[in-house]
Amino acid sequence: IFVANKLDPDGEIALDTAQAHYLLNVLRLSEGAEFLTFDGTSGEWRAKIVKARKSACTIRLTEKVREQTAPTGIHYAFAPLKQARLDYMVQKAVEMGASLLQPVITQHTAVPRLGADRMKANAIEAAEQCGVLTLPEIKAPVKFAAFLQAFDKDRALVFCDERAEVASPLDALAALSGRKVTALIGPEGGFSENERADLLSRSFVCPISLGPRIMRADTAAVAVLALLNVTVGDWR
Ligand code: SAM
């Protein structure tokens, strides 16, 4: 269970109302109950509820269970999608080890605005489910041109291009072994011709095809992040 307050091994930690409600009323835990918790920076701890009131809860850490894991080098840049698909995509990106989520506003992006709190809530839920101890950094949306302009040239940008004529995506990814990689997925309407030409003109861009069928953006996200997770993912 993620706790927003910094975990202090030597003291009692008062949870915020939302967490107290979740522990006491949703999970129906009571005083003396133990659970595993993390705050995103201090590793994983076993904790015990030492005080439970109507909507107030204080815990104490009893045992360190896992050391903090370093964030992976895998970043995920994506054109925002409509809410349900975006929720799904954020959760899958966390499960696949993405340590940074960068929304990119492209010409055909059809989403008026992005709920950062909702993205964070989905990231926390996915981290709790899959045992990730570092929450991904969720960046503010940037426009496509600004994204490319500011891109860290030491990284490789894996451009998921349904029109790529790359012989073998696996060879292309194998050539990136040891590099920090950002995956880029377009909107449901795809990248515009100009955006695609701009991407293909950059030396740090590595276009890959994910196969002959056109996937929905959230499907393509799982496909490419699963590939990155088992090829360049620095968890081994
Ligand atoms: N332009 C597509 C069309 O003509 O229908 C639609 C884009 S697709 C729904 C959304 C995004 O998923 C694309 O921009 C691309 O990043 C990714 N994608 C989908 N299928 C892919 C494939 N086979 N290979 C690589 N990327 C793919």
pTM of the model: 0.90
| Residue 218 to residue 202: CA distance in whole angstroms | 25
User: Measured from the CB, is residue 7 less than 6 Å from ligand 1?
Assistant: no
Buried-exposed string 120-135: b where 16+ CB fall within 10 A, e elsewhere: eebbbebbeeeebbbb
26 CA to centre of ligand 1 in angstroms: 39
Helix axes 116-130, 83-95, angle to 10 degrees: 40
The answer to whether the beta carbons of residues 98 and 72 sit under 8 Å apart is yes
103 CB contacts (<8 Å, ≥6 apart)?
77, 78, 79, 80, 114, 139, 140, 141, 142
Report the C-alpha gap between 34 and 13 in whole angstroms.
14
Q: Is 186 in the pocket of ligand 1 (CB under 6 A)?
A: yes
Q: Ligand 1 centre from 86 Cα, in Å?
A: 15
The candidate with the shortest Cα–Cα distance to 34, out of 13, 49, 20, is 49
For ligand 1, atom 4: residue with the closest CA? 190
Strand pairing report for 137-138 and 75-78: unpaired
Q: CA torsion sign, 39 to 130 to 182 to 77?
A: negative
Which pLDDT score, from 0 to 100, does residue 120 have? Answer: 94
Residue 91, CA distances (Å) to 67, 125, 132, 177, 236 in order: 23, 8, 12, 25, 22
Query: What would the two tokens of residue 98 be?
Result: 């993405």
Residue among 92, 215, 225 whose CB has most ligand 1 atoms within 8 A, to mutate: 215
Cβ(210) – ligand 1 distance below 6 Å: yes
Distance CA 71, CA 1 (A): 18
Model confidence pLDDT, tens digit, residues 93-128 = 999 999 999 999 999 998 878 888 999 999 999 999
Distance 148 CA to ligand 1 centre (A): 19
In this prediction, residue 53 carries a pLDDT of: 87
With a 6 Å cutoff on the Cβ, whether 220 touches ligand 1 is yes
Q: Is 79 in the pocket of ligand 1 (CB under 6 A)?
A: no
Q: ipTM, 2 decimals?
A: 0.96
Alpha-carbon distance of 143 to 18, in angstroms, equals: 34
User: What is the reported pLDDT for 167?
Assistant: 66
Ligand 1 atom nearest residue 210's Cα: 24
Contact 128, 151 (CB under 8 A): no
What span, in angstroms and rounded, lies between the C-alpha atoms of 77 and 172?
19
How far does residue 228's CA lie from ligand 1's centre (Å)?
Answer: 17
pLDDT score of 235: 58
Sequential pLDDT tens for the chain (236 residues): 998 888 999 989 999 888 999 999 999 999 999 999 999 999 999 999 999 988 789 999 999 999 998 888 899 999 999 998 999 999 999 999 999 999 999 999 988 788 889 999 999 999 999 999 999 999 999 999 999 999 999 999 999 999 988 768 888 888 888 889 999 999 999 999 999 999 999 999 999 999 999 999 999 999 999 999 888 766 54
Contact at 8 Å (CB) between 109 and 77? no
Tell me which H or E stretch contains 53: none
